[in-house]
Chain A
Amino acid sequence: MSLMANWSWNVQNPEADWLAWLYDYNSRLVIIGAILLGGAAGTIGCFTLLRKRALLGDAISHATLPGIAIAFILANHFGFSGKSPVWLLLGATLAGLLGIAAILAIRKLTRLKEDAALGIVLSVFFGLGVALLGIVQQIEGGNAAGLESYIYGKTAAMSRFDVQLIGVVGLLGIAGCILFFKEAKLLCFDEAFAASRGLPTTWLDVGLMALVVSVTIVGLQAVGLILIIALLVIPAAAARFWTDQLASMSCIAAFIGAASGGIGAIISATFAQMPSGPTIVLVCTLLFLLSMTWGAKRGIAIRAIRRQRFNRSISRQHLLRAVYELGETTTGLSAANAELGGGFSQDLPRQSVSFDEVLRKRSWTKHQLSRVARWAQRQELIELIGDEIRLTKRGMLKAKEITRQHRLWELYLITHAEVATTRVDRDADAIEHVLEPEVIAELEQLLQGTPGELPDSPHLLEVVSADVTDTTVNERGS
């Protein structure tokens, strides 16, 4: 390939070059083509990605190469122009379909799995294609110089016809995705249910594959067969970071694909002989990285923030429980609670506890504790009076709820899971924060507790032994 050898920056007149695409009719055409291609590939890619067929597109695109070479040879032989895209793309389509047929045949006739079938077809067809290209180069008068642009993509080689083809196929592809949106969504999510409702799942799959093949074929000139898979996978994968709805995911993927195509084509048009496929893919990758880090639903940043919030809420809950339990032991709050028939009364005097007491109860450093206390104070769960921590009304209610969940879980572990009591506290610490209401309800039923009632801590038997149920004592003894 002489491609890399004479790959050079066109720097004679940089200012003029940067905006050259604006004035040049051909460049504009190419850029519009790349935008349409990216948009269509992004939309269709969402469905193949969710159908878990993303790599099938890669196998198809590689399988097209021998078709291109053979079409060139035949066209030359019969006296047509071997460079005419009609013949070449027809050859590519036939070879791509043959590739799909080969994959299906391998799966049906042997016990090989799909990934093996994909790998075999991809490499064998591509190898055959490269070998045929080598032969083609030696045909006299054939002038096969432009054929390798189908491998890496070369927008400069695109004709008006190529762009029109991309336009027609791209718009048809997007229209197909819109018209069959419901059905394709159901097929990708739950094939068995779709079939049970009478949806022609096989035909929908064939239609989806047809869209993938067509986008691959028309994208060969712009992006090249090695990298077209990037436009089918990356925009869709990037879009998933931004949304939890398929409709918006398709729109975002279309936008990312179109933007990659457009920007990549502009860069490629600006620097002479810069292959367009790689530039488009690099732009696409950049957008993917942006989505991966800053995506609003699943990006790394938002998840780190969520995790931090969760950790903070756990620390706050630990603090609330510590203060509540300290108050319980020091002032006989539990006894007062019991007198009131187990119900919690807001009229009880607010309990305040010193920093040192909390530090003795929890393995926090003083610095950690004051940080947690500040968070809790900001949420008006506690008041800080000098060295004392005092629960607010809101904090008291919350603390009671948390302590209750913690103890229900502890009781469950002791009575049902046969865990040594000494290990209970740590396990309960980790799990109580993720208990869902329905699990709590289940725990209540299992332990025959009444909703809202606070069981005593199994650790505090010395203090409130009279309140502990018989089963707990027995289990502890065993």
Chain B
Amino acid sequence: MKQTFGQNSSNATSVSSLIPLAVQDLTVAYHRKPVIWDCQFEIPPGALVGIIGPNGAGKSTLLKAIMDLVPKASGVIQVFGNSFRRNRHRVGYVPQRESVDWDFPVDALGVVTMGLYHKIGWFRPVRKKHRDLAMQALDRVGIADLAHRQIDQLSGGQQQRTFLARALVQDADLYLMDEPLASVDAATERAIMDLLNQLKLQGKTSVVVHHDLQTVPSYFDYVVLINMRIVAHGPVDEVYTPENLRKTYGGRLTLLDEVAEAMRRRERSL
């Protein structure tokens, strides 16, 4: 929090620049098939946020749309009161572990230094100070001893920790994480949750796509329930109700889905 105030010299915009993430009227479509309809929510600063919803509900797409990785059909995204482009350096991204080929010729330390490439800049090589920073990040996720291990020799949990370290080394203020707890061992899950809570204590905001409904109330203090559209968002104890969960998960073919499906069929028949 202090950091946020320090970086912001003008007080006029301080209120909106405190909000780590604000999404307005966001609609995303792949091949004209809507994946996210009309999303609108705000994330309070310093919150540990869970994004919860069934498969294909658009959770990953939501994160990607926030970072301009997929084209938006409409909508405005504000990151600390400004566009994502402007505040890119304050956002750390942890993609899904399955999204990359772990056979790539690089070791764990090499992956973590990738988080610093932007800071290092064009045409400049990775130096010792960068590797030291990366080493510290690996130490924070508890696998500093595996720094020089080829990444396909790491277990699933260790790979996930490596990805987390790559985001940590950026020292961002808002972290967007895509299923960091998916298919990891219990020890890794605990380590990651400890880390997320540490980040929270430092006043940093984490937005985490999560799939395990049981752990939601104990892990997060704010949730966004999504199934193509936002079902509910708010503090866990207010929003995470059986009623809302039924709305999120119950009945795969809601009217909205049916319309979307009909539009898609029509598109294909053309």
| Interface residues, chain A, with chain B CB atoms under 8 Å away | 50, 52, 179-180, 182-183, 185-186, 188-190, 192-193, 195-199, 240, 243-246, 249, 436, 438-439, 441-442, 445
Contact = CB atoms under 8 A, between A and B. Distances in A.
A414 to B, nearest CB: 19
A183 B100 contact: no
Given A190-B99, A190-B100, A198-B118, A246 B185 contact: no
B155 interface: yes
**Sorted from nearest, which 6 A-B pairs have the closest CB atoms?**
A196-B93, A244-B150, A438-B187, A197-B118, A196-B67, A190-B100
A190 B126 contact: no
Contact of B114 (A179, A189, A243, A439): A189
Interface in B42-100: 64, 67-69, 85, 88, 91, 93, 95, 99-100
Given A190-B114, A196-B69, A438 B88 contact: no
A245 B186 contact: no
Interface in B107-143: 107, 110-111, 114, 117-118, 120, 122-123, 125-126
Contacts of A195: 67-69
B34 interface: no
Interface SS of A by simple majority:
helix
B69 A182 contact: no
B105 interface: yes
B205 interface: no
A441 B191 CA distance: 13
A31 to B, nearest CB: 30
20 contacts: A50-B105, A180-B122, A182-B126, A183-B117, A189-B101, A190-B95, A192-B64, A192-B95, A193-B114, A195-B68, A196-B67, A197-B88, A198-B85, A240-B105, A245-B107, A246-B105, A246-B106, A438-B157, A438-B188, A442-B187
A244 to B, nearest CB: 4
Contacts of A240: 105
Contacts of A192: 64, 69, 93, 95, 99
A249 B157 contact: no
A244 B69 contact: no
Contacts of B122: 180, 183
Given A189-B100, A196-B67, A245-B106, 12 more contacts: A182-B125, A190-B100, A190-B114, A192-B69, A196-B88, A197-B93, A197-B117, A197-B118, A240-B105, A243-B105, A438-B157, A438-B187
Contacts of A198: 85, 88, 118
Nearest to A248: B105
A331 to B, nearest CB: 37
A50 B88 contact: no
Contacts, number: 80
Nearest to B150: A244
Nearest to B92: A196
A256 to B, nearest CB: 15
A441 B187 contact: yes
Given A198-B118, A438-B188, A442-B186, A193 B93 contact: yes
A183 B116 CA distance: 11
A441 B186 CA distance: 9
A441 B126 CA distance: 36
A52 B85 CA distance: 29
Contact of B104 (A180, A188, A196, A438): A188
Given A189-B104, A190-B114, A195-B69, A182 B120 contact: yes
Given A442-B185, A445-B186, A189 B111 contact: yes
Nearest to A181: B125
Contacts of B150: 244
A339 to B, nearest CB: 33
A306 B99 CA distance: 29
A347 B155 CA distance: 38
Nearest to A440: B187
B248 to A, nearest CB: 26
